[in-house]
């Protein structure tokens, strides 16, 4: 069963639905200051807790999917049967049946929801069209960046792309920026900055796959 954690971010409310499905995915519902408009980030397997959180939303303006891996859209049919909100994915994302999505999002595109604004960032590496989303001082990073290291990669080229994404997009953010990933616990950009420094100094050349920041 998933677990609900609520927090406030710039007077918006974020409802984190943690540990969904067999891969322990996280989804996030961001609600505006009027408490009437919301966006959903990712569509993992839906259980009773997740459904209750979705049903408390007055108007779901959009469903933002970080990337098109099955564990991030396994709840597609269940969510779609409860809402007509459009499903939006990155313009470079691959392996998607066209009828499943309503619109593509460009890098730096701003998605309004009532009084709220959330910004899509193209963060390739884990997949070619992966998106992360920035809301105030929180960054929803999907499978691009976890609390303990970069996301999973299948080839050396993917790892090179992902590390370039981390340097270009995540490291310049303020150190106190909270990272809320698609799996696992939250982290911070400060931890990522220290982790990347340790990785660059690591004596053994790092390989692709599942990488954790080296201990210092």
Compare residues 88 and 162 and give the one whose CB is closer to Zn ion: 162
Compare residues 73 and 113 and give the one whose CB is closer to Zn ion: 73
- Label residue 23 exposed, middle or buried (CB < 10 Å: 0-12, 13-18, 19+): middle
Q: For the sheet containing 178-181, what is the strand order? A: 110-113, 116-122, 131-135, 138-142, 178-181, 187-188
Compare residues 69 and 122 and give the one whose CB is closer to Zn ion: 69
Nearest-approach distance from CB 123 to Zn ion, in angstroms: 12
Nearest-approach distance from CB 122 to Zn ion, in angstroms: 15
Contact 175, 146 (CB under 8 A): no
CA–CA separation, 140 and 125 (whole Å): 16
CA–CA separation, 49 and 201 (whole Å): 43
Compare residues 38 and 41 and give the one whose CB is closer to Zn ion: 41
Nearest-approach distance from CB 69 to Zn ion, in angstroms: 3
Nearest-approach distance from CB 59 to Zn ion, in angstroms: 29
Using CB under 5 A as the criterion, which residues of the chain lie in contact with Zn ion when the complex forms? 69, 143
Token code pair at residue 154: 């299948």
């Amino acid at each position: 069963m998933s677990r609900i954690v609520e927090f406030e971010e710039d007077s918006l409310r974020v409802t984190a639905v943690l540990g969904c499905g067999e891969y322990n995915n996280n989804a996030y519902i961001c609600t505006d200051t009027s408490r009437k408009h919301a966006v959903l980030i990712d569509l993992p397997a839906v259980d009773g807790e997740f459904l209750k959180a979705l049903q408390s939303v007055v108007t779901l303006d959009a469903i933002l999917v970080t990337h098109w891996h099955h564990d991030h859209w396994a709840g597609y049919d269940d969510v779609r049967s409860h809402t007509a909100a459009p499903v939006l994915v990155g313009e470079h994302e691959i392996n998607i049946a066209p009828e499943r999505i309503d619109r593509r999002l460009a890098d730096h595109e701003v998605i309004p929801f009532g009084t709220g604004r959330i910004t899509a960032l193209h963060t390739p590496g884990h997949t070619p069209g992966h998106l992360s989303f920035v809301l105030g001082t929180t960054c929803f990073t999907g499978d691009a960046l976890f609390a303990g290291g970069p996301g999973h990669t299948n080839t050396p080229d993917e790892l090179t792309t992902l590390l370039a994404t981390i340097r270009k997009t995540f490291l310049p953010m303020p150190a106190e920026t909270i990272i809320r990933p698609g799996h696992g616990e939250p982290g911070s950009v400060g931890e990522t900055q220290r982790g990347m420094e340790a990785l660059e100094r690591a004596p053994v050349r790092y390989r692709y796959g599942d990488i954790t920041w080296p201990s210092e």
